[in-house]
Amino acid sequence: MDILLERKSVRKYTDEDVKKEDLDYILHAAMSAPTARNTRCCFFIVIKDKETHKKIASLHRAAQMILQAPLAILVVGDQNAAFERYLPQDCAAATQNILLAATARGYGSVWCGVYSNEERSKALEKLFNLPENIKAFSLVVIGKSADNNPPKNAWKPEKIKYEVWK
C-alpha cells in the first residue's frame, strides 16, 4: 500500500539513466496488468532517442518534460485483440502498473494523456508507424526525479458514499 501513497507525478528529471534491470522490472509489471478476458492486448514502445523525444514534445504540448528525461514508454493496444471495447481499461491498468513499478524502483514518472485526444493519438501513431489496429493510449515519462516535492495527500473522506448516493 505504501507505494500507492508514495507515487506522484514528476515533471523534472536528472540526467541519470534508467538501469536496464529496472526497465525490465517496469515492463514486467506493465505486462502483469489485468486485461479483459486475459487478452494481453497491450504493447510497449520504449523511447530513449533524444531526437524522437523532441518530435514527441512538438506533438504533445503536455509532454515537454520528455526533453530532460532519459526515457518514455508509449503504451499502445491492439484493438483487434482486445475484448469488446475494453482496450482503454486494459491500457490504463498497464499504465498504472508502469507508474507504480517506476516508483518502486526509485524513479519518478508522469502519465501524459494520449487517449482520447484524437489529434494526439493520430500524430503519435503516425510518428511510430503503427499499424491501423494498434492504438496509442498513453505516454509515460520516466527518470530520476529532480523534484523534492512530497506526494499530495488525496485522502478525502467526503468522497466516500455507502450503499447509495446521499
Tens of pLDDT, residues 77-135: 999 999 999 999 999 999 999 999 999 999 999 999 999 999 999 999 999 999 999 99
**Helix (H/G/I), strand (E/B), else coil: 143:** strand
Evaluate whether 88 touches 129 at the Cβ level (below 8 Å): no
Average pLDDT for residues 22-32, to the nearest whole number? Answer: 98
Q: Which of 95-111 are b and which e, b meaning 16 or more Cβ less than 10 Å from the residue's Cβ?
A: bbbbbbbbbbbebbbbb
Peptide bond into 116 cis (omega under 30): yes
**Per-residue cell: 56:** 514527441
Q: What is the distance between the alpha carbons of residues 104 and 138, in angstroms, rounded to a whole number?
A: 20
| Mean local confidence (pLDDT), 4-13 | 95
Q: What is the CATH number of the domain that holds 81?
A: 3.40.109.10
Residue 10 in this model has a pLDDT that exceeds 90: yes
3-state secondary structure of 127: helix
CA distances to 4, 155, 160, 161 from 166, rounded to whole Å, are 28, 19, 10, 7
Let me know if residue 62 belongs to a domain: yes
Mean pLDDT for the stretch of residues 29-41 = 97
Mean pLDDT across the chain? 96
Residue 106 inside a domain? The answer is yes
Task: Say what the pLDDT of residue 34 is.
Answer: 98
Signed CA dihedral, 150, 101, 118, 47: sign only: positive
Residue carrying C-alpha cell 494481453:
40
Q: How large is the average pLDDT for residues 11-32?
A: 97
Strand ranges (E), 9-145 = 42-47, 71-78, 108-113, 134-143
Whether the predicted pLDDT of 166 surpasses 80: no
- The answer to whether residue 18 is domain-embedded is yes
> Containing domain of residue 85, as a range?
11-146
Q: Domain count of the chain?
A: 1
pLDDT higher at 148 or 32: 32
pLDDT over 80 at 36, yes or no: yes
Quick check: is 137 in a domain?
yes
Say if 97 falls within a structural domain.
yes
Residue 135 lies in a domain: yes
Tell me phi and psi for residue 84, to 5 degrees.
Answer: 45, -125
- Residue 72, pLDDT > 90, answer yes
Residue 5 lies in a domain: no
pLDDT at residue 1 greater than cutoff 80: no
For a pLDDT cut of 90, what percent of the chain falls above it?
94
154 located within any domain:
no
Predicted local distance difference test score (pLDDT) of residue 148 = 86
Q: Are 109 and 138 in contact (CB under 8 A)?
A: no
Q: How many CB atoms lie within 10 A of CB 139?
A: 25
pTM: 0.96
